[in-house]
Amino acid sequence: MARYTEAVCRMCRREGQKLFLKGDRCYTDKCALSRREYAPGQHGQGRTKAKEYGIQLREKQKTRRYYGVLESQFAKYFDMAEQMKGVTGVNLLQILESRLDNVVYRLGLAMSRPEARQLVRHAHFTVNGKKVNIPSYLVKQGDVIALVEKSRSSEKFKYINEANATRPIPKWLDMNRDTCEGKVVALPAREDIDLPIEEHLIVELYSK
């Protein structure tokens, strides 16, 4: 499977926003964007103001990078969103939020989405009692996501649980930290998604 193998901090610098791809580091003065608030590359400091297409493209790229989704997969999600009832842009964000790796991160069982994706691939979680190691698995209302029994005593998950003890859980999810088990109470509404995304720009881009 294709995947991005360069320094992820370059993504934040390219988008001009923190994408929180490195967990705790993003909140410290070690954050690359805090030290170099310009795009990477030889001409990063001399970039001109983006035009309409460029603004729409950057919004799409930023959203892809927030969720760690490849181009082809993102296009597939957009097609799914178009076929659903309701507003296409909101449907798209709802699909992205429903990915298992994102739900694991939202439940506070990982420090970042990239870490959540890795932990899911290593089969540390179950959905409705069955092991699932596919980060792109889309959860549904009523699904129960739990940390497998043998992982609950590991030092890594003890640290994650303690570090995220005060992290707020979205209202569309319910979390029991004692059992390391979460439930999808409902699918997320637009106001439940706190990322600075202007989804209408993505819809306009794909509508060209």
pLDDT of residue 64: 95
User: Which segments of 18-158 are extended strands (E)?
Assistant: 125-127, 130-131, 144-147
**pLDDT tens-digit series, residues 44-90:** 565 566 789 989 999 999 999 999 999 999 999 999 999 999 999 99
> Distance between CA 190 and CA 170 in Å, rounded?
12
Model-wide pTM > 0.85 = no
Average pLDDT on 101-130 reads 96
Instruction: Judge whether residue 30 has pLDDT over 70.
Output: no
Q: How many residues does the chain have?
A: 208
Q: Give backbone dihedrals phi and psi of 126, rounded to 5 degrees, phi first.
A: -120, 155
Provide mean pLDDT across the span 123-142: 97
Which of 153, 161, 103 has its CA nearest to residue 128? Answer: 103
Contact partners, residue 80, CB within 8 Å, separation at least 6: 91, 95
CA–CA separation, 82 and 45 (whole Å): 37
pLDDT tens, residue by residue, 154-202: 999 999 999 999 999 999 999 999 999 999 999 999 999 999 999 999 9
Instruction: Tell me if 111 sits within 8 A of 160, measured CB to CB.
Output: yes
**What pLDDT does 1 receive?**
41
CA angle, 152 as apex, 141 and 173 as ends, to 5°? 20
Question: Is-contact 148 138, C-beta < 8 A?
Answer: no
Burial class (CB in 10 A: 0-12, 13-18, 19+), 46: exposed
Backbone angles phi, psi at 206, to 5 degrees: -75, -15
What is the rounded distance in angstroms from the CA atom of residue 7 to the CA atom of residue 78? 27
What's the average model confidence in pLDDT over 22-30? Answer: 59
What was the pLDDT predicted at 43? 53
Q: Provide the mean pLDDT of the chain.
A: 86
